[in-house]
């Protein structure tokens, strides 16, 4: 079971536990928060607690010995169903091409609609979890409205999304909202040390790099391609800043693009190729590369402004970053970081990657813009 020993900030579990304690479990929930915060894990823990027939302790606790708990832990409870986004495949000139965007299939939604009105086979409540529903088309979201408005009494539909702002208001209004918050940096680092045996210094670095998101931190800790890629990208950026000028920017852009391609196609330092849906794959993508450049520029701005080291993402390279930050003032670095973040958003929305990368690298190495 994925949710075992997962680190949750307390407010969301407390809210769901209160619903169980009052006997007022809703028929539809929207669990939302940033990617990697543990939305699907919380949904799983909630379903386990609701269907547990033994003695439970603590928020969303479960006995672990009753038939329902056993089956949840073995991932075989037929009344717990999860559908998540997948990338569509199409054939073009005899070659299979995977879509760059993932979404829940319409067939999955139809399956849920057909099944949700059937009585549970063995559990007290049947659960259907639809993950990342913000990736669904509007017509598919509209098909959920009747189920969310008039669900059967012994079924629970759980939607997860990054933000309710990404969904139709009619969908949001029919769900009980559960907002997930990040645990503290120290709490996350301590959890990584105790649960995964990671040394304290590395755990703090992972927590910071993961933006205090437990799911992302776990993936980063286990991804053999992420850290070599991140180190090579950081070295490339530092070299470009310290050398400065248009030619340094051009060379840096070439190397950043090559690093991303190599990570995805071959892997780095003997690792397997990066999973496109994993943390290394995300970092190696066009939007991920430019987003990392933006975070790097923000680090330079923060250090130049004299902010605490805890505010810096790349905390393991503070001395090198401080040297690089001295080339410009904090306001200028921050302006450039803001522009780079705008470029990463544009690339994610299918803007030309190479043009955006060239500009982002010039933001790092250009003397004036």
44 and 175 share one domain: yes
Whether residue 170 is found in the same domain as residue 238: no
Q: What's the domain count of the chain?
A: 2
Does residue 155 sit in helix, strand or coil?
A: strand
Asked if residue 276 and residue 136 are part of one domain, the reply reads no
Q: Which residue has the higher pLDDT, 25 or 99?
A: 25
Q: Average pLDDT in the 276-280 region?
A: 88
Domain match, 144 and 28 both: yes
Answer whether residue 361 is part of any domain.
Answer: yes
Per-residue pLDDT, averaged over 115-136, amounts to 92
326 neighbors 202 (Cβ within 8 angstroms): no
- Are both 97 and 229 inside the same structural domain? no
Q: Are residues 34 and 172 in the same domain?
A: yes
Task: Domain of residue 125: give its range.
Answer: 11-179
Q: Which of 46, 292, 40, 36 is nearest to 188 (CA)?
A: 36
CB atoms within 10 A of CB 297: 28
Q: What is the pLDDT of residues 127-169, one digit of tens each?
A: 999 999 998 888 888 888 888 887 777 999 999 999 999 899 9
Last residue of a domain, one of 179, 212, 240: 179
Whether residue 198 is predicted with pLDDT greater than 50 in this model: the reply is: yes
Please indicate, yes or no, whether residues 52 and 162 belong to a single structural domain of this protein: yes
Distances (CA, A) of 234 to 51, 126, 174, 214, 289: 48, 48, 45, 23, 11
Asked if pLDDT for residue 92 goes beyond 50, the answer is no
> Quick one: 85 and 28 in the same domain?
yes
Q: Is 216 contained in some domain?
A: no
> Which pTM value belongs to this model?
0.81
Residue 121 lies in a domain: yes
Q: Which of 146, 179, 212 is the last residue before a domain boundary? A: 179
Tell me the CATH number at 80.
3.40.50.300
**In-domain check, residue 87:** yes
Q: Which of the four pLDDT bands, split at 50, 70 and 90, describes residue 101?
A: low
Q: Is residue 153 part of a domain?
A: yes
- 335 located within any domain: yes
Q: Confirm whether 163 is domain-assigned.
A: yes
- Domain-located, residue 217: no
pLDDT, position 106? 84
- Among 151, 179, 207, which residue terminates a domain? 179
- Determine contact, residues 182/37, Cβ cutoff 8 Å: yes
């Amino acid at each position: 079971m994925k949710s075992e020993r997962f680190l949750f900030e307390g407010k969301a579990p407390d809210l769901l536990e209160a619903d169980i304690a009052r006997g007022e479990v809703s028929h539809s929930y929207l669990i939302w928060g940033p990617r990697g915060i543990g939305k699907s894990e919380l949904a799983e823990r909630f379903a386990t607690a609701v269907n547990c027939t033994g003695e439970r302790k603590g928020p969303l606790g479960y006995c672990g010995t009753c038939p329902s708990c056993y089956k949840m832990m073995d991932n075989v409870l037929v009344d717990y169903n999860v559908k998540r986004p997948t990338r569509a495949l199409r054939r073009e000139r005899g070659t299979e091409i995977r879509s760059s965007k993932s979404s829940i299939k319409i067939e999955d939604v139809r399956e849920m609609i057909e099944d949700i009105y059937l009585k549970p086979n063995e559990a007290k409540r049947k659960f259907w979890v639809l993950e990342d529903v913000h990736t669904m088309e509007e017509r598919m979201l509209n098909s959920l409205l009747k189920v969310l408005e008039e669900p059967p009494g012994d079924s629970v539909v759980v939607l997860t999304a990054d933000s309710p702002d990404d969904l139709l208001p009619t969908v949001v209004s029919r769900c009980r909202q559960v907002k997930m918050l990040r645990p503290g940096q120290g709490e996350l680092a301590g959890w990584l040390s105790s649960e995964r045996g990671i040394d304290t210094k590395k755990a703090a670095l992972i927590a910071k790099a993961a933006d205090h998101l437990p799911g992302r931190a776990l993936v980063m800790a286990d991804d053999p391609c992420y850290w070599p890629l991140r180190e090579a990208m950081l070295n490339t950026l530092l070299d470009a800043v310290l050398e400065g000028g248009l030619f340094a920017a051009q060379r840096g852009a070439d190397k950043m693009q090559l690093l991303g391609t190599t990570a995805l196609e071959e892997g780095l330092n003997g690792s397997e190729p990066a999973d496109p849906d994993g943390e290394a794959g995300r970092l190696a993508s066009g939007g991920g590369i430019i987003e990392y450049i933006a975070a790097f520029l923000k680090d330079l701005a923060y250090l130049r402004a004299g902010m605490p080291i805890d505010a810096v993402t790349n905390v393991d390279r503070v001395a090198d970053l401080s040297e690089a930050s001295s080339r410009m003032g904090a306001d200028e670095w921050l302006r450039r970081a803001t522009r780079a973040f705008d470029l990463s958003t544009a690339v994610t929305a299918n803007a030309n990657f190479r043009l955006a990368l060239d500009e982002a690298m010039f933001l790092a190495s250009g003397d004036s813009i």
